[in-house]
């Protein structure tokens, strides 16, 4: 075993070339020191999620209004696009029906009740709008 300064140590008869234990070839074919480059790293950062603007599929949060007018949720177009990009997804839009119009114990009523229970702490603008949209 030999020390190589502050980069760690290198074991004798190690089949890997780098001191970090990498082969030196990246998934994309480029040479790199640790086997993962920014191009193909599974840990690379995704684009920040933008919710409003052209081509975006979220309702803009509205400070007034209830139901669909409250905004703060995904549009049907957005749900359809998400399902296309994620096959097998069961994502649905909000239950915007008034609670008095929902049949007690129905699937929609249970979904609404579960959403309202788990979103109690949402105090931001979009969270409040989403809760108004769901009639919480």
Instruction: Give the residues across from 117 on adjacent strands.
Output: none
Residues 28 and 83 in one domain: no
Least confident of 35-49, 54-68, 119-133: 35-49
pLDDT bin (cut points 50, 70, 90) of residue 14 is: low
112 pLDDT exceeds 90? yes
Per the CB < 8 A criterion, the answer to whether 127 and 71 are in contact is no
Q: What angle do CA 7, 10, 15 make, to 5 degrees?
A: 130
Do 73 and 29 lie in one domain? The reply is no
- Residue 1's domain comprises 1-42
Is residue 62 situated within a structural domain?
A: no
Work out the mean pLDDT of the chain and round it to a whole number: 75
CA 2 and chain centroid, separation: 45
For the chain, percent of residues with pLDDT exceeding 90:
22
State the virtual CA torsion across 103, 104, 105, 106 in degrees, nearest 10: 10
Residues 37 and 76 in one domain: no
In a domain, 101, yes or no: yes
pLDDT class of 108 with cuts at 50, 70, 90:
very high
Q: What is the pLDDT of residue 72?
A: 76
Q: Supply the pTM of this predicted model.
A: 0.56
Hunting for tokens 């009740």 — which residue is that?
113
């Amino acid at each position: 075993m030999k020390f190589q300064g502050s980069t760690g140590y290198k074991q004798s008869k190690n089949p890997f070339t780098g001191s970090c234990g990498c082969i030196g070839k990246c998934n994309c074919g480029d040479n790199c020191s640790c086997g993962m480059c920014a191009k193909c790293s599974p840990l690379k950062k995704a684009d920040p999620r933008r919710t409003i603007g052209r081509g975006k599929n979220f309702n803009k949060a509205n400070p007034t209004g209830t139901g669909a007018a409250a905004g703060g949720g995904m549009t049907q177009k957005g749900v359809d696009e998400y399902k296309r990009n994620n096959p097998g997804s069961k994502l649905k839009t909000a239950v915007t029906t008034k609670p008095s119009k929902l049949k007690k114990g129905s699937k929609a009523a249970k979904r609404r009740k579960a959403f309202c229970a788990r979103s109690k702490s949402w105090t931001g603008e979009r969270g409040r709008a989403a809760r108004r949209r769901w009639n919480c």
